Amino acid sequence: MTTTSETGTPEAFQPADNGAGKAASYAAASEWRLMWYKFSRHRLAVICGIIVLLLYVVAAFVEFVAPYDPEAQNPASAYQAPTRIHFVDADGQFHLRPFVYGTSSQRNLDTFELEFVEDTSARHHLSLFVQGDDYRLWGLFPSNLHLFGVEDADARVYLLGADRQGRDLLSRIIHGTRLSMSIGLAGVVMSFFIGIVVGGVSGYFGGTIDIVTQRIIEFVRSMPTIPLWLGLAAALPSNWSVMQVYFAITVILSLIGWTGLAQVVRGRALALREEDFIMAARLCGTSRTRIIFKHMVPSFMSHIIAALTLAVPEMIIAETALSFLGLGLRYPAISWGVLLQEAQNLRSVALAPWLLAPGAMVVIAVLALNFLGDGLRDAADPYRR
Amino acid sequence: MSAIEPAFTPAGRRLLDVKGLTKHYPITRGLLRREVGRVRAVDDVTFHVDEGETLGLVGESGCGKTSTGRCLLRAIDPTDGQIIFDRGDGKPVDIAQSEGGSLKALRRDMQMIFQDPFSSLNPRWTLLDLVGEPLVAFGVSKGKALEERVAYLLERVGLRPEYMRRYPHAFSGGERQRIGIARALALNPRLVVADEPVSALDVSVRAQTLNLLEELQQELGLTYLFISHDLSVVQHICDRVVVMYVGKVVEVAKTADLYFTPRHPYTEALLSAVPKPDPEQQSSRIVLQGEVADPSNIPSGCAFHPRCPYAIEKCRTVVPVLETIGDGQQVRCHRAHELSLRGVE
Amino acid sequence: MTDQAMPADMLLDVRDLRTGFALREGYVRAVDGASFHVRRGETIGVVGESGCGKSITARTILRIAGTSDDSLAGKVIFRRSSGEVTDLLELPHSGREIRRIRGAEIAMIFQEPMTAFSPVHTIGNQIIEAIRLHQSISKEEARTAAVDMLRRVEMSSAEKRIDAYPHQLSGGMRQRAMIAMALVCRPQLLLADEPTTALDVTTQAQILGLIRQLKDDLGMSVMMITHDLGVVAETAQTVAVMYLGKVVEMADVKSLFRDPKHPYTRALLASIPKLGRRAGEPLHPVKGMVPSPFNRPIGCPFHTRCPSAMPGICEKSMPGKTTVAGGHTVSCFLFGEGDKAEEQSA
């Protein structure tokens, strides 16, 4: 009969520990640490993650980040082109601080077009944390501090140009970030609940329940989404407030969006039911609730986070499309889709192509979320062999 | 105690008495799940396990050995039959009929070691959580006491207790199997069902694990139901062996009797088919024709008759019963009395 | 070239083969100086545990290992059916030359037949395709040849089964179909990678018997890759034992089992339970675990687990191949530093 030290393994561990602390920290790394190791090697996903994070920070502090009140009209600046930022003044002198010149508009009597002319007599330096239009942060805290702007209250800087009413487009896009990015989140949270419940029930119980829910999901998925949205959105009363419309749109989007999540949850639940460690837990006398919350839910949490991230951009696109068609959010709400409505007619696009900038924001946000989601999905199962 | 047959080895008390255990899986079609057939995974299986022994359960894939083991632990619910478990308090209970609290109480006394050391451990849990899971589930210990018990268990199976904060991904297959063994032993069970505990391990690591299981048995007085397809391992570790073929027990005997004087033609063929790691001892072998019968479409009469070299007309039509011949060897074969079969050398 | 000279009865000579994978966790030296040779008409058993590089060795011979070309070193000298002698490692891995050899001169079968077959074509069409890839004959002739081959692998009602899809066959039948596909072009060498590991013992006995019989009928050589010493004892005439990417011992099957030299071979044989009268003997386990491929020991790969390791020697350098008896070589310092003089060319 051999003793444990002969049959045993303590010696066998030593080679693995030769890598010193690194091996030990890997050995003691939790699932989230392992996921982070894997995710952080996905360079593009990390960059996109930072972009997404920035977008949500901006969305949280729009009033502060935007240089102007998005509704502040300035008829003199209608369709004004993006202001040029200068480092070198009209005399050819270099300045370390960027500055802009004031502009005045005048009608060109040959072409009858409005032209903007820089008034090079006074430089207006761009500064951080300037005082400007009054606002209430989150509708609560009165302030007039803005992230950047020009100190001189008379001069205005239009980094992305102005719209028909001479409103600063950049400020409007920044304000649009809040609705556009949050409607994605809110829609996903709603579909998350529907998806988890339906998918969980379907996968956990299996059998006839599973077959029936699967057919329902397939039915919902087979409906053409655009006409359905159009129909549902058109049914919204036109006298609803911005908030009411916002929530109604969220519900409409998530009524269709939950199916993908339900399928992810169902797939994971079905796979987990077959895992030996679930049976092992049962045979250890672990209660059903404990199995669900300590074994099953943590096992698919990471997959769900990845699926959620991939669902957000779908919601953003859907909102943009609806609002663009005038069936989603409406004035006075500001979202990227609403802003794009102004770019609907050819004439204004030809005259002021910067009106398409909100579209670029949609592209950036959607791409960033997609790459982030891909990275998360790849990292979601660090134990795959 | 049981009217079915006398105990082979009066040495041990009878711990488990399995009578007529049956597990059928319905084959269903369509949305209404109409039953169109049945997979007879386990079909009227009867055997017993004495306290302190290692009973081997052998057979090829699809013979129902794993389903039988799982029914005993109520990992799956048997369709029919009795599983009488005697915990020594004079009140034998039928595992097959236990539910809820009484079933949970039974789980303290019976545990399982899994085949796959990877999927049987939740990768998100530390060794402390994994090995301590049964202790927590039964509220046996927590906090410091739990850590001490887990440390003892880890040490007992040859792992360093300081590794209890580590996760299973840092361990090799053989080490993980030790973690699984430590978990199975946490509650001091009487019966351990080991389902192919070494077949997923590297050859050079198997012997460690087998020796560990033997040591633990002697030290803790464990009873093993050892499920395996590897006849060499079974001969090494088991006291008695049950041979199954397509859901039915075809032979039960003490290990030496079964290996040296098999009574069922299937046992003979199985033993003959095992490749022997000795090039100078290669005897002519019985190569069976065809393949294991489909448990959803079992041949008439004796399920083994289409492959049996000794089959006669009766085998095609009449289902043989399990009968005791000689020195308590049980066999399910019409010709058991007349055949003289070859065992291993 | 002189260093490619081989005795006439030699079919394949693998010399100091090295290959590996660059993974995120680091570089894995999957095969780390493996040398062995295969004679005409013999079965060589390559035994080892998971991660010892036995499968990668076989795949590297066919140049399907998926390792990068610059990780390759050593020689794989093969005598082609034309009599010409080629180093397979020098051929481009997707070039015409190697594709002519694959399937036609060296064929491979796997543990899981479903990986060899496409699920969307009948096995017959896949076998016919394999024939017509290497021989210019008509479809009808190829079909006749395929049915003939299926009969040779003892597939019952071969004319009917030829039109079956892989999933319609049982595990044993699929294995037979894969063997038929591998042998239909009459290769000189069959690489069998754990061909019976997934099968039941009774089916395993059928398949092993079949491979043995076909080897004799077709006069080919077989490289039987397995972790099961029983399978080796039963099928092979020569055995190469691999551990962590190296061939540590090579001998004819009888000497290897009767008089194993390398401590690893000895430990392995002492650790497996044996069927029969000796069953009661205690098992002597190999201590420790197989090291992780990212963390290979320096020096002799087995020294961390070896009962006869000599401190100061074994962890310093890798022992060379020493001939202990005719055709019995071992890489272990217990038996010498290694044969310096020749490269086994006699």
Q: What is the ipTM of this complex?
A: 0.85
Does A352 map to a domain?
A: yes
* A296 and A328 share one domain: yes
- pLDDT category, C1, cuts 50, 70, 90? very low
Contact B119 A276 (CB under 8 A): yes
Give mean pLDDT, residues A174-179: 84
Q: What is the pLDDT of residue C66?
A: 78
CA distance C74 to C91: 13
Mutate to test the interface with C, among B178, B215, B278 (most CBs of C within 10 A): B278
Each residue of A231-290: pLDDT tens digit?
877 787 777 777 777 788 788 778 777 888 888 888 888 888 778 899 999 898 888 888
Where do we find the tokens 């029983």? C230
Does A13 map to a domain?
A: no
Q: Which residue has the higher pLDDT, B276 or B185?
A: B185
Does A241 map to a domain?
A: yes
CA distance A62 to A68: 10
**Phi, psi (rounded to 5 degrees) for C78:** -125, 135
CB of B29 within 8 Å of any CB in chain A? no
Question: Using CA atoms in the order C261, C265, C271, C275, what is the torsion angle rounded to 10 degrees?
Answer: -90
- pLDDT category, A317, cuts 50, 70, 90? confident
Give mean pLDDT, residues B17-45: 85
- pLDDT category, C187, cuts 50, 70, 90? very high
User: Of all residues in chain A, what percent carry a pLDDT higher than 90?
Assistant: 1
Q: Quote the tokens at residue B112.
A: 């399982």
Residues of C within 8 A of A12 (CB-CB) are: 287-289, 304-305
Q: How far is CA B304 from the centre of its chain?
A: 21
> Is B8's pLDDT higher than 60?
no
Closest Cα in chain A, distance from residue B270 (Å): 29
Task: Look at A191-205, C7-21, C208-222 and tell me which has the smallest mean pLDDT.
Answer: A191-205
φ/ψ bin of C336: left (φ > 0), alpha (ψ from -120 to 50), beta (otherwise): left
Close Cβ partners of A244 (under 8 Å, ≥ 6 residues apart): none
> Is B19's pLDDT higher than 90?
yes
* A102 and A223 share one domain: no
> Is C149's pLDDT higher than 60?
yes
Contact C297 A6 (CB under 8 A): no
CB C206 within 8 Å of CB B288: yes
Paired strand residues for C242: C247
Radius of gyration of chain C (CA): 21
CA distance C193 to C190: 10
Contact C295 A15 (CB under 8 A): yes
Residues of A within 8 A of C305 (CB-CB) are: 12
Closest Cα in chain B, distance from residue A261 (Å): 23
**Phi, psi (rounded to 5 degrees) for C72:** -80, 140
> Is A90's pLDDT higher than 80?
no
* DSSP helix/strand/coil, C290: coil
Close Cβ partners of C79 (under 8 Å, ≥ 6 residues apart): C6, C10, C11, C12, C85
DSSP letters along C91-120, please? Answer: S-TTSHHHHHHBTTTEEEE-S-GGGTS-TT
**Phi, psi (rounded to 5 degrees) for C135:** -130, 140
Residues of A within 8 A of B31 (CB-CB) are: 208, 211-212
Q: What is the pLDDT of residue B12?
A: 67
DSSP state, A345?
S
* A99 and A210 share one domain: no
Range of A151's domain? Answer: 83-157
Q: Which residue has the higher pLDDT, B100 or B53?
A: B53
Radius of gyration of chain A (CA): 28
DSSP state, A85?
P
Does A71 map to a domain?
A: no
Residues of A within 8 A of B205 (CB-CB) are: none
Distances (CA, A) of B168 to A380, B118, C24, C181, C295: 17, 8, 20, 41, 18
* A268 and A349 share one domain: yes
* A139 and A288 share one domain: no
CB pairs under 8 A between A and C: 28
Contact A12 C24 (CB under 8 A): no
Q: What is the pLDDT of residue B195?
A: 93
Last-in-domain residue among A107, A122, A157: A157
> Is A106's pLDDT higher than 90?
no
Does A233 map to a domain?
A: yes
Instruction: Indicate the angle between helix axes B203-220 and C263-271, nearest 10 degrees.
Output: 40
B113: exposed, middle or buried (Cβ count in 10 Å: 0-12, 13-18, 19+): buried
Each residue of A23-44: pLDDT tens digit?
667 777 777 787 787 788 888 8
Residues of B within 8 A of A25 (CB-CB) are: none
Closest Cα in chain B, distance from residue A10 (Å): 6
Residues of C within 8 A of B272 (CB-CB) are: 205
* A180 and A298 share one domain: yes
* A56 and A202 share one domain: yes
> Is B5's pLDDT higher than 60?
no
Give mean pLDDT, residues A68-91: 75
Distances (CA, A) of A116 to A9, A80, A104: 81, 7, 6
CB of B7 within 8 Å of any CB in chain C? no
Distances (CA, A) of A203 to A222, A267, B25: 21, 7, 20
Q: What domains sit in chain C, N to C, each tagged with a CATH number?
A: 8-105+187-335 (3.40.50.300), 106-186 (no CATH)
Q: Which residue has the higher pLDDT, B125 or A207?
A: B125
> Is B3's pLDDT higher than 70?
no
Last-in-domain residue among A157, A190, A213: A157
Mutate to test the interface with A, among C281, C287, C294, C296 (most CBs of A within 10 A): C287
Do you know the residue count of chain C? Answer: 346
Strands (DSSP E) along chain A, which ranges?
86-88, 94-107, 114-137, 141-150
Last-in-domain residue among A130, A157, A184: A157
Does A219 map to a domain?
A: yes
Q: Quote the tokens at residue C238.
A: 């020569």
Closest Cα in chain B, distance from residue C271 (Å): 5
CB of C232 within 8 Å of any CB in chain B? yes
Where do we find the tokens 């290979």? C296
CATH of the domain at A193: 1.10.3720.10
Q: Quote the tokens at residue A342.
A: 């102004």
Contact C295 A18 (CB under 8 A): yes
Closest Cα in chain C, distance from residue B59 (Å): 9
Residues of B within 8 A of C207 (CB-CB) are: none
* A151 and A178 share one domain: no
* A98 and A247 share one domain: no
* A126 and A250 share one domain: no
- pLDDT category, A21, cuts 50, 70, 90? low
Does A126 map to a domain?
A: yes
CB C335 within 8 Å of CB C324: yes
Q: Quote the tokens at residue A137.
A: 């942060």
Residue in chain B nearest A295 by alpha carbon: B122
Residues of B within 8 A of C276 (CB-CB) are: 235, 259, 276, 281, 344-345
Instruction: List the alpha helices (DSSP H) in A152-224.
Output: 169-205, 207-222
Residues of C within 8 A of A11 (CB-CB) are: 287-288, 304
| CATH fold for the domain made of B14-109+190-331 | Rossmann fold (3.40.50)
What is the identity of the amino acid at C110?
F
* A227 and A122 share one domain: no
Q: What is the pLDDT of residue B50?
A: 93
Residues of B within 8 A of C210 (CB-CB) are: none
Angle at B229 between CA B189 and CA B181, to 5 degrees: 30
* A55 and A151 share one domain: no
- pLDDT category, B268, cuts 50, 70, 90? very high
Q: Compute the mean pLDDT over every residue in chain A, rounded to the nearest whole number.
A: 77
Instruction: List the alpha helices (DSSP H) in chain C.
Output: 54-62, 96-101, 123-134, 139-152, 158-161, 171-183, 201-218, 229-235, 253-258, 263-271
Give mean pLDDT, residues B226-255: 94
Closest Cα in chain A, distance from residue C298 (Å): 11
Does A12 map to a domain?
A: no
Q: Which range among A3-12, B30-39, B196-205, B312-321 has the greatest average pLDDT?
A: B312-321
Give mean pLDDT, residues C123-140: 89
* DSSP helix/strand/coil, B183: helix
Q: State the greatest distance between any 2 C-alpha atoms of chain B, in Å, as a whole number.
A: 68
- pLDDT category, A11, cuts 50, 70, 90? very low
Q: Compute the mean pLDDT over every residue in chain B, rounded to the nearest whole number.
A: 88
Give mean pLDDT, residues B204-217: 91
Closest Cα in chain A, distance from residue B71 (Å): 12
Count up the domains in chain A and report the number.
Answer: 2
Contact C292 A16 (CB under 8 A): yes
Contact B277 C274 (CB under 8 A): yes
CB A146 within 8 Å of CB A126: no
Distances (CA, A) of A257 to A218, A252, B313, C128: 12, 9, 65, 48
User: Of all residues in chain C, what percent carry a pLDDT higher than 90?
Assistant: 34
Give mean pLDDT, residues A10-23: 42
Strands C221-226 and C189-193: parallel
Q: What is the pLDDT of residue B332?
A: 94
Paired strand residues for B331: B251, B323
Contact C202 B236 (CB under 8 A): no
> Is A326's pLDDT higher than 90?
no
Strands B223-228 and B191-195: parallel
Q: What is the pLDDT of residue A17?
A: 39
What does the domain layout of chain B look like in residue ranges? 14-109+190-331, 116-188
Q: Which residue has the higher pLDDT, A328 or B108?
A: B108
